[in-house]
Chain A
């Protein structure tokens, strides 16, 4: 699954989630703490990894469990690719990449049987 967070996504997600940490909203603040600019909320990116598992079947509630590790930083206005692979025991391993770097790694998902 591919998704590109638009310029204003972090503001919409802040409103939806209640997470108004300025590292997600204010470029000047973000650069002052050593970030390349305002960054995506990790839990938004995790929601994309979740959606990548359930969207093909059309059932958002099919997700039974998901664990991820966050790496680096996700940025607005650049495409994210979620890659998933189902193993023999039904566990899905997945990760998310942006600009050639993994921003979510070690993802493990299970769907309800």
Chain B
């Protein structure tokens, strides 16, 4: 099953995320610095992909058809590949697919892939999310 959700990127959310993660690139916190660099507004740090993918990834993780025991789940691994930059004002649509479930050493591995595009249909990020159930 595919889960899809759209996230509207807000300026203050990008700034809040940049401060919480210690980002020092001024284009992520200062709209003027971002405009001087040719962007319409503040630019999301790359790992903000974890935030705008959230509304699509969470329903996939808790989907009863996938069958994760949420209380025993840990985040095992994560991979992102970045493409077009994401700027405040963008609307990012993410599609998440449950790719694979496997079992090794008494642990269950649930792998999801995500693909995020902006309002122009340009690819912004691809993700691979591995959750482990103990």
Are B19 and A12 in contact, CB atoms less than 8 angstroms apart?
yes
CB nearest neighbor in B for A19? B54
Over the window 73-100 of chain B, the binary record of Cβ atoms lying under 8 Å from chain A Cβ atoms (1 yes, 0 no) is 0111111111001000000000000000
Are B17 and A17 in contact, CB atoms less than 8 angstroms apart?
yes
Residues of B in contact with A (beta carbons under 8 Å apart): 13, 16-17, 19-25, 27-28, 43, 45-47, 50-51, 54, 71, 74-82, 85, 128
Query: Which of A33, A54, A70 touches B71 (beta carbons < 8 Å)?
Result: A33
Are A61 and B24 in contact, CB atoms less than 8 angstroms apart?
no
Query: Which of A58, A63, A70 touches B77 (beta carbons < 8 Å)?
Result: A70
Say how far B50's CB is from chain A's closest CB, in angstroms: 4
Q: Name, among B43, B77, B81, the residue most crowded by chain A CB atoms within 10 Å (CB to CB).
A: B77
Are A43 and B78 in contact, CB atoms less than 8 angstroms apart?
yes
Other 10 A-B pairs with CB < 8 A, given A50-B45, A60-B45 = A16-B19, A17-B17, A17-B54, A33-B71, A48-B22, A50-B47, A61-B25, A61-B27, A61-B46, A64-B81
